[in-house]
Amino acid sequence: MCRLYWWSGMKFDVAKYVKCCEICQQVKAEKQRPRGTLQPLPIPKWKWDVTAPIF
């Protein structure tokens, strides 16, 4: 698109259009990986007890 058209602030305008476009959002969602389920953190038995693994 940049070879045929260009204007100042074009990247911002295109990003704004894609963000508001319903069809663009539907197509974009299909390409995303599904999220995993949330896992609760274990409750520590003492104040500074570290029982959860540190990543």
For residues 17-22, average pLDDT: 85
The tokens for 45 are 């038995």
Distances (CA, A) of 31 to 10, 26, 38: 25, 9, 21
CA distance readout (Å), 53 to 4, 19, 42, 47, 50: 53, 37, 10, 16, 8
The tokens describing 55, both together, are 């990543």
* pLDDT tens string 25-40: 776 655 667 777 888 8
Residue 25 has a pLDDT of 74
Long-range pairs of 42-45 with CB within 8 A, sequence gap ≥ 24: none
